[in-house]
Structure 1
Amino acid sequence: MQSRGRGTYRDAAGEQELRLAISRYLAFNRAVASNWEDVIVTQGAQHALDLIARVTLRPGDVAAIEDPGYPPARACLTAVGAKVVAVPVDAEGLIVSKLPKHARLVYVTPSHQFPLGMPMSLARRVELLEWAQQRDAVIIEDDYDCEYRFEGRPMEPLKSLDRTGLVAYVGTFSKTIFPELRVGYMVPPASLFDTLCKARQIGDWHGCSLTQTALSSFMLNGDFAKHLKRMHKLYAARRASLLAHLQGDLARWFEPIVPTAGIHMAALLKAPLTEAAVIEAARDESIALHGLAPFYVRATPQPGLVFGYGGIEAEQIDTALATLAKLLPRVESRT
């Protein structure tokens, strides 16, 4: 194995080859135009959220999140001393009119809302951008799972619609490759780039250059695109299996919220079933289910479950949901 040369401390923003690969990937797949110099490589999406929160928020500043929403994002914003306000969502995504007037930062998942799965409408995206422009607020766009789209054309990311430099676009390889890789990225507003790099340098200087170099080769030689194509086919089969049950033998008890993208699906429970009763009965059969209630803060929870299919084979989905279909009549009779 040939050495890259004398070991040195590297650029806090990441290896140039990987930043170039990411910028090309985003331009081709997500219509996010950026130069490689605009990209900052991080230790996953959560690291990017933490850096942005640290440089944009002071203790007591108001930050807004979706309700229901992503708990680690809420924890991150709380950890820097922000006053975190949960804002309700509807079928079009975050309800912009419900945002607190003095919010300094807004965290959203517009490609497919976490955990419910619906995309933010174009009208709502434009409304959010106009709201942020009027208040000079920063928007964190977490574009997780955007690679796996199964229906319709992709909606333009907020970043591609941003004309005033307010959107910090965040992505990760945890869902596309594996979480242990610990590589994510962001394309922040130009006004925050230098400050974010300094914050990154203070924290841990830079990530693993060997990992970044290997990943850049994986992307630039076309292997990453082949991998995504292969995984898309695999996840499509799992998604189809899940939907077949939710709209078939489980339709009596579930109303799925069918997302256009991603590797999880939410399904609302029909009365009189409760989350707790269904989860407990499934646990007795060694089936792990996750309810929607833990993702809510202020809004009234809609009873339901979140089905993730990123780490389970289609055959296992069939077996588990067939067993669940046999359990639910007994659960129903006891409620």
Structure 2
Amino acid sequence: MEPVFPFPVVVPDRGRGTLTHELHRQLRSAILDGRYAAGAALPATRQVAQALGVARNTVTTVYDLLIAEGYVLPRRGATAVVADVVARRERRVAPRPVGAGDARLNPLWQTPFLRPGPPRDLPERCFRLGIPDHRHFPHEIWRRLSAQSLRQWSRTPFAYPPSEGIPALREAIAQHVAFARAVACGADDVIVTSGAQQAFDLLARLLVTPGRTRVAVEEPGYPPVRAAFAAAGAQLVPMPVDAEGLCVDALPDDVGVISVTPSHQSPTGVALSMRRRRALLDFARSRNALVIEDDYDGEFRFGQRPLDALQTLDRDAQVFYVGTFSKSLFPSLRKGFIVAPGWARDALITVKHCADSHSDTITQSVLAAFIRDGHLARHVRRMRPIYAERREALLAGLHGELAPWLEPIASEAGLHLAARIREPTLAPAIFARVQRHLPGAQSIAEYALSPPARPAITFGYGIIDADEIAAALGRFRASLDSL
């Protein structure tokens, strides 16, 4: 006979305590231990009695005791259910003072700037950064390729795919970046990652000697980059950013790794000038330093011809090129990649294998076919004029009715723009109005380790239409009259 409870129940021998007491003890212990889940329905008394070989009155008495004690909740016309008592019996711990950590945990993971912020409750159409528009995505094509991939997968023996990614996707990525960004690489140079953030984590593990390696990061800059290198034990060296991007002349001689977003600086949006690109590579070569190039949304260009990627200009195998499909396709795809110099490839694959030993086959196969068949290139071409229209609407408002308060920062790529506040003393009042009228827009201080010298606002335009942008900026402008 099938067991009636989701845990074993032992009926005691005669002469070893009362049967009712023993059954009650076992059921109560299972509820308190969480082995009998809250909300689970108790089996009927007749069923329990038959399964355990005991009198039905005994089972009824046990159930009545559990109900009286609050471990079980009766229901009219239905069997009783287990009460939620586990949370109530958890040991109460005295609240720790702010900033205090638990000695049993690695202090690093209690660092405030590493902790993720609470999720933001934002409307679907807003100025949030880094989110592409789902309405224009070729969902039907993706579904068809997914079905094909599943059919192929069902006909192949189960196996563990290589941790560096399946060959078809690495080949497709190599062709894509060669066409889109003139990045010279082959399939063997590509390591597929779970988004760009895993790429940063892997590179930090590979390149950082804890307590010794100094890593230059942009200030302000992308927080997950700082988090990855800090978690690996690096000494962070915040570097200023101006209208030409990272201030290369300010780099200390002893930095071993430089992380940079040259195509579209995160979050200011400026591009690293050609003069500084060459200076950065010269610096790295003369000091045996390494460069991590984060090209997170370089597919979307709205100005003149894009500047060559650092990896394209590199002649000394100093650059690790990081890309992602979160902006060109969708974030939940969780696919990024690293184009690594040949001398570091095997070691990087070893790091990837230790952190994430095997890649997924199905999603990688779908993405490989999506790129190989030209769908990615067509989707980017289709989205570029849509994003361009939104960008122009945002710039029109910033240069027009908002010009007395905001100064746009020059940018020709990506899915967001930034604007400095002309009068810093008004920043608190302006940010309060931003939160009310421009949901999703952020202070640039959220990307900085210390308060920026000039406060600024970042505006994403990936998921908000041009007319919605104009309307929101109009309401924001009206709210500024009181200033």
CA distance in 1, matches of 2:303, 2:380: 16
Query: Paired residue for 2:190?
Result: 39
Output one character per residue of 1:47-77: Cα deviation in whole Å (capped at 9) or x when no partner: 0111011011011111110111111111111
Paired amino acid for 1:125: R
CA distance in 2, matches of 1:111, 1:228: 17
CA distance in 2, matches of 1:286, 1:119: 25
Query: Paired residue for 1:243?
Result: 395
CA distance in 1, matches of 2:199, 2:242: 27
Query: Paired residue for 2:270?
Result: 118
In structure 2, do the counterparts of structure 1 residues 43 and 272 end up closer, same or farther at CA, with 3 Å as the change threshold?
A: closer
CA distance in 1, matches of 2:322, 2:221: 16
Paired amino acid for 2:198: H
CA distance in 1, matches of 2:252, 2:158: 49
State yes or no: 1:313 paired with 2:465: yes
Give the deviation of 1:299 after TM superposition.
7.3
Could you tell me the TM-score, scaled by structure 1's length? 0.95
CA distance in 1, matches of 2:439, 2:268: 21
Length, aligned pairs only: 331
Checking the alignment, whether the CA contact within 8 Å between 2:323 and 2:336 is kept in structure 1 is yes
Q: Which of residues 286, 292, 314 in structure 2 aligns to 1:162?
A: 314
In structure 2, do the counterparts of structure 1 residues 281 and 298 end up closer, same or farther at CA, with 3 Å as the change threshold?
A: closer
Checking the alignment, whether the CA contact within 8 Å between 1:275 and 1:291 is kept in structure 2 is no
Query: Paired residue for 1:172?
Result: 324
Give the deviation of 1:282 after TM superposition.
3.4
CA distance in 1, matches of 2:451, 2:478: 32
**Structure 1 residues without counterparts, runs of 5 or longer:** none
Checking the alignment, whether the CA contact within 8 Å between 1:266 and 1:305 is kept in structure 2 is yes
Checking the alignment, whether the CA contact within 8 Å between 2:162 and 2:358 is kept in structure 1 is yes
Identity across matched positions, percent: 44
- The structure with more radius of gyration: 2
Give the deviation of 1:204 after TM superposition.
1.6
**Structure 2 residues without counterparts, runs of 5 or longer:** 1-150
Give the deviation of 1:4 after TM superposition.
4.3
CA distance in 1, matches of 2:166, 2:253: 39
In structure 2, do the counterparts of structure 1 residues 44 and 316 end up closer, same or farther at CA, with 3 Å as the change threshold?
A: same
Checking the alignment, whether the CA contact within 8 Å between 1:292 and 1:304 is kept in structure 2 is yes
CA distance in 1, matches of 2:361, 2:162: 9
Q: Which of residues 204, 221, 225 in structure 2 aligns to 1:53?
A: 204
Query: Paired residue for 2:252?
Result: 100
Query: Paired residue for 1:255?
Result: 407
Checking the alignment, whether the CA contact within 8 Å between 1:88 and 1:299 is kept in structure 2 is no
State yes or no: 1:6 paired with 2:157: yes
In structure 2, do the counterparts of structure 1 residues 4 and 256 end up closer, same or farther at CA, with 3 Å as the change threshold?
A: farther
State yes or no: 1:85 paired with 2:237: yes
Give the deviation of 1:329 after TM superposition.
1.3
CA distance in 2, matches of 1:325, 1:297: 30
3-state SS of paired residue (1:242): helix
Paired amino acid for 2:165: G
Q: Which of residues 359, 368, 374 in structure 2 aligns to 1:216?
A: 368
Show structure 1 runs of 4+ deviating over 6 A: none
Could you tell me the TM-score, scaled by structure 2's length? 0.67
Give the deviation of 1:96 after TM superposition.
1.5
Checking the alignment, whether the CA contact within 8 Å between 1:94 and 1:108 is kept in structure 2 is yes
Checking the alignment, whether the CA contact within 8 Å between 1:292 and 1:301 is kept in structure 2 is no
Pairing of 1:62-73 with structure 2 (within 5 A): 62-73=214-225
